[in-house]
Amino acid sequence: MSNRRLVAAAALALVLVVGWYRLSDRGPERGGSGAPLAAVAVPDALDPQARAGRALFEANCAECHGPTAAGRDGYGPPLVHPIYEPGHHADAAFDLAVANGVRAHHWRFGDMPPVAGLAPREVGRITAYVRALQRHNGIE
Q: CA 37, 82, 109, 16 torsion: positive or negative?
A: negative
Residues (pLDDT < 70) of the chain are 1-3, 5-31
State the alpha helices, DSSP H only, in 33-75: 48-60, 62-65
- pLDDT tens column, 55-84: 999 999 999 999 999 999 999 999 999 999
> What topology does CATH give the domain 3-136?
Cytochrome Bc1 Complex; Chain D, domain 2 (1.10.760)
Q: Give the torsion through C-alpha atoms of 88, 49, 35, 44, to 10 deg.
A: 110
pTM of the model: 0.78
